[in-house]
Structures are given as structure tokens and as C-alpha cells.
Amino acid sequence: MAEPINHDSPWKETLDRFLRTFLELTFPSITRQIDWLVTPISLEQEFREIAPDAELGPLRADKLIKVRLLNGTDQWLLIHIEVQMQYDPKLPRRVFDYCCRIHSRYRIPVVPLVILGDTRRNWRPTTYSGGFGNLGLRIRFAICKVGDFKNRIEAPRHRDNLTIFIIAAYLGTQKHRKDPANLSECRLELTQKLYARGYTQEDLRSLLFVIDWLMPLPAEHKVQFRKRLQQLQKENPMPHVTLFEELSREEGRQEGRQEGRQEGRQGCILDLLETRFGEVPVAIRDRVQALYDEARLKEMLRRAAVIPSLEEF
């Protein structure tokens, strides 16, 4: 049986790490109107006020941001991603509710951008309306169907956009999620192409981190994938940290050493920080080594892989 896949966090990670390039890929006309010399502001607290965690399912990801447009005005964008494998007829109403709550609470209009990961080609909702005749409320939103990239992954116009690999990873899992052997082959091919593009190590680490999340493999296939990846590393060194940590965690689980897993994860965090930034301050070492909660250690490891500086750890 295929393992359940958590697509929520990788998409949020994508929006946090690759916001501009991801929007250039999915909503190019909107992106061209944004002044990227002004850093976008993430409105996490504002979004939590109008959408409590209880309302957010594991197959959705949302990002509320404020951007500066080229005309000098500020604009709020609501980016809503639905990544379930089937369509949800309640989506238009949900987007409508979010926009209404934002406007009601903050008196600021918002532009909704919706990314759909389902496999239903003809399901392309762009409006929600309620009322009678010509009277009532109506909202329009822009959509992007991930499936539309299926035959465009190698298109020249996408070659310089690194987030096309995240789309390819999602589509690969969607196609092979019930066949781990083919999923492993797809992941290996994608990894080879990724290294051939010559991205910076920072972008490479972040991309591999998201792809590891999007393309999970059963334990036995992880081992085979690791061996083949190590063979490739002999020819072209690859900083594939997240997969190796995942395998080490699985090996520790098989041995049943809970304490060893926790200490191993602490070591992985410190080693990763040292590899990326050099000497790790004593205060950070003490903080990491004082943690034994599995969930906190896991989250800290993820942060260590993507933060731009030690000061933000």
C-alpha cells in the first residue's frame, strides 16, 4: 500500500523559500506587476486571525503576503494551494470566505491566487457567487493547474526557473505513488537533472529538501536509491543531506534505540549548521543538545537546512 503523503509543508516551504520564482512559473502576469526590489512581507499573524489552524486541512497550504506593485501601491495576495488528488467543490466558497474575512477584519482588498493539484483536467473554478438573479455577491480568482505542466517540464521557457523541479516532483509522485520502484527511478532521474543545472548549493539544498518531502520512498527503496545516489556522487559530489538523515533515522528506528535517534538528530542538526556556516556558537549547541522532543528536533533540522544565516536559527 502506498504511504500517505504530506504535501502541505513542502508547498509552504516552497512559498517561503522560492516565492518569486514560483509565482513567475504559476502566475507570470501577476508577477510582472510586482516591484521585486521591495521585499514582500509575510502576513502570517494576519492570516491566522482569519483562518484558525482547525480550518486548515493537511492537503492545503496558504500564504498571505503584502507586495509593492510597480505603480507604487501595496497589494495583499492570498495564495491558496489545494494538493489533494481529487477536486473539492467547496473550494470556491472557501476562497470567498477567506477574502471576505480579510476585508472585514482589515478593510483591505485581497487578490486570490489558487493552485490546484488535482487530476481532473476540466475542473477549473474561477468564481464564487451567491444571490438571486443579478443581485448578490461574486468573487473571481486566478487559478493554476499543476497538471498543465505535465508536458512542459522540459520547455525552454521554464529552464531557468528552478521551481519547475518541485512541480515535476509532485507530478512524478502523483503518477508513481503506487509503484515505489518507478517512483525511485523518477526521483533519481529528477535528481540527476537537478545537479546538471548548476544551481548554487543553497538553492540545491532547499530544492532537495522539498523534493525529499514530496517523493517519499519505502525503506527498502530508500536504501537502493541511496546506493545509486552514492554511485553518482563518486562522479559528481552531491550535498544530499536530507535523504541520508532520513535513512539514518529509519535505521535507528529498526534498532529500537529511541535515545540514540534523538542524539543522532541533534548531531545531524549541529553537523549541518557547521557545514553551512562554520563554527556553531556554544549557546546554539547547548540549545540543540537540551532538546529531546522528536517533533521539535525534526522541525529544527528542517530549519537548519534552509535558514540563510545562524542568526536566524
pLDDT at 124: 92
Question: Is a pLDDT exceeding 60 seen at residue 55?
Answer: no
Alpha carbons 126 and 113: distance in angstroms, whole number: 10
**Cell for 178?**
503506487
| Among the ranges given (1-5, 60-64, 104-108, 293-297), the one the predictor scored with the smallest mean pLDDT | 1-5
Which is more confidently placed, 252 or 40?
40
How far is it, in rounded angstroms, from Cα 130 to Cα 10? 34
Percent of residues, the chain, with pLDDT higher than 90:
27
Residue 98 has, within 13 A of its CA and on its CB side, a CA count of: 27
Cell readout for 166 is: 518541485
Which set of grid coordinates corresponds to residue 226? 541511496
pLDDT at 243 over 60: no
Query: In the predicted model, is pLDDT for residue 4 greater than 80?
Result: no
What b/e sequence results for 103-124 when a residue is b if at least 16 CB atoms lie within 10 Å of its CB, and e otherwise? eeeeeeebbbbbbbbbbeeeee
Give CA–CA dist 198/201, Å, rounded. 9
**What band does 264 get if pLDDT is binned at 50, 70 and 90?**
low
Q: Decide: helix, strand or coil at residue 34.
A: strand
pTM: 0.71
91-141 confidence digits (pLDDT tens): 899 889 989 999 888 888 899 999 998 888 888 999 998 877 777 788 999
